[in-house]
Amino acid sequence: MKALTEREIDRIVEMAWEDRTSFDAIELQFGIPEQEVIKIMRREMKESSFKMWRERVQGRKTKHRAKSPEDVKRFKSNNQRNIG
């Protein structure tokens, strides 16, 4: 795995936390597969927050592009413009 900057890690965490951003979109942008994203989330979050996130995203259709409805093709946060 390539070394990630603190800024990239912050962005990955933000994208992973967002329900409508798929793991595929994160992998496309950063080259980090789902299992690595999970490891980053576990490392960067408090244990209780990580558990809450895992329960929320496990099996969630929008987190896996293959399971997403066909009309969901955009994975950009409304806040993305504000991130510098």
Question: Which residues make Cβ contacts (< 8 Å) with residue 23, sequence separation at least 6?
Answer: 16, 33, 34, 37, 63, 64, 65
Please tell me the pTM assigned to this model: 0.71
Average pLDDT over residues 45-70: 79
**CA atoms in the 13 A half-sphere facing the CB of 70:** 0
Tens digit of pLDDT for each residue in 10-54?
999 999 999 888 999 999 999 999 999 999 999 999 999 999 999
Q: What is the pLDDT of residue 20?
A: 85
When pLDDT is cut at 50, 70 and 90, the band that residue 64 belongs to is: low
Angle, alpha carbons 77-68-66 (nearest 5°)? 115
Angle, alpha carbons 69-50-26 (nearest 5°)? 45
